Chains A and B, each alone.
Chain A
């Protein structure tokens, strides 16, 4: 089972233009900031947002191809969509919610209710069938929404920010829970989220979406080790630079340069972890190949570390211990020497 999607769609001024390939058994997370087009992607796949171009096929069957005038209506697509706030029908009981899709597809009331009851049992809510959705906790509502979709045995399962409606304190628990339920599902699974932790904890593969375009795709470790956008670099908490490399010397797009020990020539990304950035009151001697002077623009205590935002050529973020800050007598606005070893500059092609 595979999904092949080339999606061109417009919502007002916003344009979604991306390609996506998913295979069965894979759990892919589309990660991006709010407004990146994540929900539009799901709506387009579900047929709720018409494509202006491109083509979507699921297991070889064309779901939508505007050029050929093909558009399978939403209700006929073998796709299950779990909405961000679950959208359980408030006027129906929990059991009727789960049975809704079965009934809509022509199953009689009695077998539909029996089947729905089995699914409620599977998500551990067999006792809650008569309740109204409004009386459920967030986690229970999520499981009902999942059961409602899984009961239809869709070929493609879409989840829109499945954890967003949950309490932060209970998220970890429910994430494990959700992962367990998703593992039992054999179709293609796609989840969109703006929460990197959620994406990395759940997904086999990440797709980074920003302003309607795919910036990067790969396993969580690939993506975090080789960020290709400011968004990902910020998420991971590393310094990301872009520039032109020639024999280990990288001329940065934003001004300044960095020296690395190895790496490709041409357009490159360079990543420097804040913990490898050293700070000095006076110009240091010795090994570091990258030494430049900057000004401490901001100091932030984060956990047991202080993040120091430094402006200079280039600007960079350093992470040092509170003890080091005291020894340096560092304060906002102070001039300081910045040193990064060439071995700590991680270079890869752009």
Chain B
């Protein structure tokens, strides 16, 4: 009994009661909707849904598009983050605000903006179509562009924060050892911000995987070409809510598996 009270007192002193309550409410806020999804799942018909060609096509397309979007975001977003973190130039804060705008912009508006830019009659879309023969709307490439547009800011701000918090004297040390700026970037800077790179890429990928509004607005919805999982879920909700629940679960399972896998692999499950 004495032991019990002592351990309880220790618990209280190490974690304020209010914090524990609020944290519990916060966790419940996430868990209860998931629980609702799980409990309402028509498990018997779930397996049939899961194996259907349309679901597999949507899943395949979702993975392809989200991974491609993450790759593009890495290629373009890391230099952007580096520029924001390391170069001082007039208009930097404005440019930074513009590039993270897709985080607050309703994705559907983002999709319309993309149409106005890369659509058939868009600012550069017309030129793309006539000179290069590239059509983005209604194509898988368009779905990837839409996902990149919405998801890349997550990578940019994460990597920028990593670059800002890193000790730049390591870069100085590398230069005094004869490393060119390019070598410094590849062999010192990027390895040192690797946790931020991974976290940013994972966030970006997760956002791309769940992307709906910009994709359906810019790329449209066609099974096998532009119908990603979230689009399939939304449409299934119209006709067959059971199927929608199963599709959501598939999406959930895939993202959970990847996130947990990455965590164990790279972020060190400590």
A contacts, CB < 8 Å to B: 43, 46, 48, 73-77, 79-81, 83, 87, 89-91, 100-101, 104-105, 148-149, 152
Residue of B nearest to A100 (CB): B177
B161 at the interface (CB under 8 A from A): no
Contacts A48-B172, A83-B169, A89-B170 given; does A104 touch B177 at CB 8 Å = yes
Distance between A172 CB and nearest chain B CB, rounded to angstroms: 27
Tell me if B174 and A79 are in contact (CB < 8 A).
no
When chains A and B are docked, how far (Å) is the Cα of A89 from the Cα of B174? 9
When chains A and B are docked, how far (Å) is the Cα of A81 from the Cα of B172? 10
Residue of B nearest to A42 (CB): B176
When chains A and B are docked, how far (Å) is the Cα of A313 from the Cα of B91? 61
Tell me if B191 and A101 are in contact (CB < 8 A).
no
Set of chain A residues within 8 Å of B174, measured between Cβ atoms: 89, 100, 104
Q: Can you give 30 contacting A-B residue pairs, CB < 8 Å?
A: A46-B176, A48-B172, A73-B175, A74-B172, A74-B175, A74-B176, A75-B178, A75-B179, A77-B176, A79-B176, A80-B176, A81-B173, A83-B169, A87-B167, A87-B172, A89-B170, A89-B173, A89-B188, A89-B191, A89-B192, A90-B192, A100-B174, A100-B177, A101-B177, A101-B178, A104-B178, A104-B179, A104-B180, A104-B183, A149-B177
Set of chain B residues within 8 Å of A101, measured between Cβ atoms: 177-179
B86 at the interface (CB under 8 A from A): no
Chain A interface mostly: mixed
Q: Which B residues from 88 to 105 make CB contacts under 8 A with A?
A: none
B263 at the interface (CB under 8 A from A): no
Most buried by A among B175, B183, B192: B175
Distance between A312 CB and nearest chain B CB, rounded to angstroms: 49
Tell me if B187 and A100 are in contact (CB < 8 A).
yes
Set of chain A residues within 8 Å of B179, measured between Cβ atoms: 75, 100-101, 104
B120 at the interface (CB under 8 A from A): no
Tell me if A152 and B188 are in contact (CB < 8 A).
no
Q: Which B residues from 153 to 174 make CB contacts under 8 A with A?
A: 167, 169-170, 172-174
Residue of B nearest to A74 (CB): B175
When chains A and B are docked, how far (Å) is the Cα of A192 from the Cα of B170? 19
Residue of A nearest to B170 (CB): A87
When chains A and B are docked, how far (Å) is the Cα of A89 from the Cα of B167? 11
When chains A and B are docked, how far (Å) is the Cα of A81 from the Cα of B180? 16
Distance between B195 CB and nearest chain A CB, rounded to angstroms: 11
Set of chain B residues within 8 Å of A152, measured between Cβ atoms: 177-178
Tell me if A91 and B177 are in contact (CB < 8 A).
no
When chains A and B are docked, how far (Å) is the Cα of A159 from the Cα of B183? 24
Q: Which of A73, A87, A105 contacts B173 (CB 8 A)?
A: A87
Contacts A104-B177, A148-B177 given; does A87 touch B169 at CB 8 Å = yes
Additional pairs, 11, CB under 8 Å, beyond known A46-B172, A46-B176: A48-B172, A74-B172, A80-B176, A81-B176, A83-B172, A87-B170, A89-B191, A101-B179, A104-B177, A104-B183, A105-B178
